Each structure stands twice: as C-alpha cells, then as structure tokens.
Amino acid sequence: MAECTPLSQITNTTSSTGRGGRSWTQRQHTPYTRTPRSRRLTGQGKTVPLARTPQAPRTLSRIKELVNKTWRLYKVTPLYKFDLGSLRKYSRLLSAHLDAEYRKGIAVGVESEVADSARFSLFKGLKGASGDSDAIEITVKAKPKSGQGESKVVLSAILCSVQLPDDAFLFPESFTFLPVMMVKGGVGLTKQIVSWLEHQFDCHITHMSFSPYDLSWMVAMWGGCVPETNSKPVEMMYTVPKEVEGLSRITMTIDAKVCKELWDSIRDPTNNRFTEEEEAAFIKSLESHFFYHFKVKLTAMYLNRVVTSIAVVDSSGRIKFYSDDHVHRVLRHITEVAVEQIQQK
C-alpha cells in the first residue's frame, strides 16, 4: 500500500499561503507537473457564503443554457487590460474584424451564412466566489447569404472562471483571469475569434486536452453524483494501443446506483476534498473487477472518454453537461485543471 501523508499536512501546505502564491520551496522550477494529492470536491473558496445569503437568483442565472450541448474547451492566459465597461467597444471591434476577414477572402460559413455581428455580454450565474471575475459571453450571429431570413447564432463562446484555486499565481490589477473558455461553433470562426482575442488582450489561447490521468480523476470524483432524475450509467471508454490490430476500443459501463455504492464505500464523508488514495481506490477497484473477468490489463490502455450522470468529457477537450445543478462543480474542477495546465507552461 502506498504510504499516506496525514491529510492535515496536505491541506496546510497548499492553502495556507493564500492568494499570494506558494512559498519558494513549493513553487515549481521543473518542467514536470506535480500530481496533486487531493482536489476540491465540494466546498467554496475563501469566502463561504452563509446559509441565508442568497446567491445569484436562479431566474437570472443562465446555467440552463449550458446543459445538453457539446462545448469545446480552451485554456486562456490572463487578459491584459480587459475592461468590463467597454464591452460594446469590444463587440464593435470584433464585428469589424470578422467582416474584414470575410472580405479578405478567408471564407467563414462558406455555405449559407455570413458572419454578421459579434456581441460581448455578461454571463450571469457562473461566478463561483467573490474572487472570480465575471463570466463573459461572446455570441456571433450570421445572416444567410441569400439575404432573406433572420440572423441566427452561429457561434457562442463563454469565458469564465469558477472558484479559482487559492494558490493561483498572483497578477497585477490590469489583468483579468478567466482561464476557461467554452466554445460552440464552427472551427474556422473559432480560430478567427481566438486570434482576435490573442491580439487584442495579449493572451494565449490553446486547446485544452485531458490526459487519461485527468479523466480518471474526473470519473472518480463525479462517479458518485447521481441526481434524482435522469441518472446515466457511468461509462469509461479506453482506446487500445495500436500494436493490437483488430481491437480498437474497450468500453466499461457501470450502473449508476451500484457505482454510487462503490463511491460511498471508498469515500471519507467528513473530508471536503477528494484524495488521491480515494481516486486510486475507485479506478483500481473497477479495473481489477474487469481483470478478474477478462484477464485484460485495463491499466495499459488509454482512457479516452468518460461519461457520468453530470457530464461527459473526452480527451480532446469536448464536454457536455447533463445536469444544471452540478455545472458549478464540473466547471470548478475544469478551472483548476486549466490553471494547472497554464502554470505548467
């Protein structure tokens, strides 16, 4: 059995130094990532809202629009001089840029649509704690080429930050940190918007991809979240290495109720954080159940796609939420992973 350091030690070292960053002994000077010993599962950031303080009222929150759509995830470095007051100016600038690109001949929406207007707006309901910046939504509308018909939304992008981890790096006031960008729209249009954002705000936007290790954390943390309605079985899809000709994927689907029982049995309910040991126990127990029946080593395969009752995530960075109650939880984790991946660079 791996030796475990006491949990109190871990939480102390990672969160005691506050927003100012880690002490010099813990800051990374190596190109390798340090695998986290535990992750936030539930729980708030520095500010814990009192039981009676109303959070953003549900009617204003637009989280329901995020559910049941496939989004592509990108990670965004801090934006320089992003001003919440000049959203209209940014909308104008982006529309002009898209128009110019179209005229240059870089066709966007080749078949029937001409990207017409872009709009920046505040996306309410996604802010996790008071330390987070407000979430921004960019919508691009397009009119069909024939000139008739009304314009419809062709791309929708949301930049957000949900409960930034306490030990994220420190940055001056002129920077806004919205590490996660979710995009739903065409590839060409996305590229143009990304290049404009990079140019305008001096940031760096890249695809977010998840390693099998990240995906196994996700399935371990969310495998036990079974909402009352619409529970889906927990599924893990592995791709087989190329040397094995003929077989391409192995999928293991576990009934939701039974998975929750397993999750409850390995979990320490008093702890707010999900530890590495719990994650290892979850994944290893499922893989050993598989090995007992088939004598096939799943540990040697690449975990490619993970489906739980609250979200489905795959290694290329595509995500789909199933339950609007748990969007916060999922995005909180995505924010943490995005920050880690940015810091790694």
Partner 1 sequence: MMEREIFRKILGRLRKDELRPVLQEWGHLGKRLHEIDFSHSKHSVHSYVVKGFMKNYPNGHPDAVGKLDLLCLQKHSAKRTWAVYHLKKEQDSPPNDVADPKEFEQRLRRELGVDFKKMELCVLQHEKALWVRICISKGSKTKPMLKNATYCVHFPHTPVLIVTNMKAATAESIKQAFVNVLDYDDIQDIRLTGRCVKSLAQLSLNKYSQGSFSQYRLNQVDLQPLSHGKKRKRTESEESITDPRIVFVNQKEKKQRLEILNDTFGPNPQPTLEKIEYKLETKFHGNHYAPGMRNHTGPFHCRVKFEGTSVIEGIKNLGKTELAVVPLPDHLAKVHSLAKNHFVLQDKTKANKSVQDSQT
Size of the site for partner 1 (CB under 8 A): 40
Q: How far is the CB of 268 from partner 1 (least distance, A)?
A: 10
d(CA 62, CA 51): 22
Under the criterion CB under 8 A, does residue 49 sit at the interface with partner 1?
A: no
Q: How far is the CB of 38 from partner 1 (least distance, A)?
A: 18
Stretch of 112-120, 185-193, 246-254, 325-333 lying at the interface with partner 1 (CB under 8 A): 246-254
Under the criterion CB under 8 A, does residue 4 sit at the interface with partner 1?
A: no
Under the criterion CB under 8 A, does residue 265 sit at the interface with partner 1?
A: yes
Contacts of 341-345 with CB under 8 Å at 24 or more apart are 341/75, 341/208, 342/75, 342/77, 342/179, 343/28, 343/169, 344/31, 344/33
Q: 150-186: b or e for each residue (b if 16 or more CB lie within 10 Å)?
A: eeeebbbbbbbbbbbbbbbeeeeeebbbbbbbbbbbb
Subset of 278-307 contacting partner 1 (CB under 8 A):
280-282, 284-290, 292-297, 300-301
d(CA 223, CA 236): 10
Under the criterion CB under 8 A, does residue 3 sit at the interface with partner 1?
A: no
Query: Which x/- pattern over 74-103 shows residues binding partner 1 (rule: CB under 8 A)?
Result: ------------------------------
Under the criterion CB under 8 A, does residue 249 sit at the interface with partner 1?
A: yes
User: Among residues 62 and 289, whose Cβ is nearest to partner 1?
Assistant: 289
Under the criterion CB under 8 A, does residue 110 sit at the interface with partner 1?
A: no
* Beta bridge partners of residue 320, listed in sequence order: 70, 312
Query: Which x/- pattern over 206-245 shows residues binding partner 1 (rule: CB under 8 A)?
Result: ---------------------------x------xx-xxx
d(CA 135, CA 144): 29
d(CA 102, CA 140): 14
Token pair recorded at residue 301: 């395969």
Q: Are 19 and 339 in contact (CB under 8 A)?
A: no
User: Among residues 100 and 300, whose Cβ is nearest to partner 1?
Assistant: 300
Binding site for partner 1 (CB under 8 A): 233, 240-241, 243-255, 258, 261-262, 264-266, 280-282, 284-290, 292-297, 300-301
